[in-house]
């Protein structure tokens, strides 16, 4: 069996990748508590010791507020460490699978068509800038890589990086609380994107790594919604009877800018015959599996 290393295997995407790939590959998981991509020497030593065919890096510094506050850390994890991983993968002839974000785009308010892989990035906050730098490092230094730009991830495991596990789980919790208290809930109307269950991204990775078609890909479900529209669909499917009212992003006093529109078009994946479901059907599937 070919070996795959999963970095960040305790995260929401990492844990679903493990579940999806384990039948076909020997999986070696590297958890943050034992392994940090910030340490160049450890990255080299560990990967040379394991000699995997694929290294999947899900690690990132992706709390937007903390990225603004600690930009050095954001660049270390999201950019510099990608050089360490690229060099190590080149030396052992491994393929690096890495994840970037829709936030490498600026998402101006007058935009209403999804970005494809040829559109020019224009990140507007430290997180997006540091992830874009990571992409450039990968493209320039890594011999064999797949870079998947994903967005709005939610998975059963949830992320530790944010106050709530993810947007979907946060809205479920807030919705249930508001239902008991008979309150209305605010939700953002001026951020339009695509929300994706991590299991759908893991399925794409499984197909893509068999192609040898290295490079940069957009990988998100079909369609897009504002945060308000996503929450409305979520509440409908969960039978949560709470009225949502639309607010602008600034209502929550963020310390960073967020794109107004950052939906992505999977133009290159479609050319390979890899299709992703609509965000509404994947949300429905997630909610069914979530209970088990």
Residues that bind ligand NAP (CB under 6 A): 7-8, 10-14, 32, 35-38, 58-60, 62, 77, 99, 101, 150-153, 159-161
CB of 17 to ligand NAP, least distance (A): 9
CB of 127 to ligand NAP, least distance (A): 8
Q: Do 12 and 166 form a contact (C-beta atoms < 8 A)? A: yes
CA quadruple 109, 113, 119, 121: dihedral sign: positive
Q: Which residue in 145, 273, 207 sits closest to 17, CA to CA?
A: 207
Q: Do 92 and 48 form a contact (C-beta atoms < 8 A)? A: yes
CB of 272 to ligand NAP, least distance (A): 21
Residue 264: strand pairing partners? 115
Q: Do 95 and 144 form a contact (C-beta atoms < 8 A)? A: yes
Is the Cβ of residue 179 or residue 265 nearer to ligand NAP in the bound state?
Answer: 265
- In this structure, the number of other CB atoms found within 10 A of the CB of residue 10 comes to 17
Q: Mapping DSSP to helix (H, G, I), strand (E, B) and coil, where does residue 192 land?
A: strand
CB of 265 to ligand NAP, least distance (A): 16
CA distance 98 to 244: 36
Position with the least CB separation from ligand NAP: 11
Structure tokens at 229: 């529209």
CB of 39 to ligand NAP, least distance (A): 8
Is the Cβ of residue 161 or residue 170 nearer to ligand NAP in the bound state?
Answer: 161
CB of 159 to ligand NAP, least distance (A): 3
CA distance between the termini of the chain:
30
């Amino acid at each position: 069996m070919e070996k795959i290393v999963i970095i960040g295997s305790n995260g929401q995407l990492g844990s679903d990748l493990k579940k999806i790939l384990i039948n076909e590959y020997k999986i070696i998981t590297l958890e943050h508590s034992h392994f940090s991509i910030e340490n160049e020497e450890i990255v080299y030593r560990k990967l040379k010791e394991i000699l995997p065919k694929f290294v999947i890096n899900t690690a990132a510094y992706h709390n937007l507020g903390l990225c603004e506050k600690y930009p050095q850390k954001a660049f270390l994890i999201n950019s510099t460490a990608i050089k360490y991983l690229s060099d190590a993968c080149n030396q052992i002839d491994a393929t690096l699978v890495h994840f970037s974000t829709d936030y490498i785009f600026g998402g101006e308010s007058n935009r209403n068509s999804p970005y494809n892989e040829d559109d020019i990035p224009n990140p507007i906050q430290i997180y997006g800038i540091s992830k874009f730098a990571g992409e450039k490092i990968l493209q320039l230094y890594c011999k064999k890589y797949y870079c998947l730009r994903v967005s709005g991830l939610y998975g059963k495991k949830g992320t530790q990086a944010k106050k709530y596990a993810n947007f979907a789980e946060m809205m479920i919790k807030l919705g249930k609380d508001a239902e008991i208290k008979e309150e209305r809930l605010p939700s953002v109307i001026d951020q339009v994107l695509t929300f994706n269950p991590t299991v759908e991204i893991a399925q794409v990775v499984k197909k893509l790594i068999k192609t040898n078609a290295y490079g940069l890909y957009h990988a998100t479900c079909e369609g897009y919604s504002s945060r308000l529209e996503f929450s409305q669909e979520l509440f409908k499917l969960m039978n949560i009877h709470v009225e949502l009212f639309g607010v602008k992003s600034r209502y929550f006093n963020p310390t960073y800018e967020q794109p107004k529109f950052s939906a992505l078009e999977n133009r290159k994946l479609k050319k390979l015959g890899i299709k992703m479901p609509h965000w509404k059907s994947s949300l429905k599937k997630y909610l069914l599996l979530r209970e088990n």
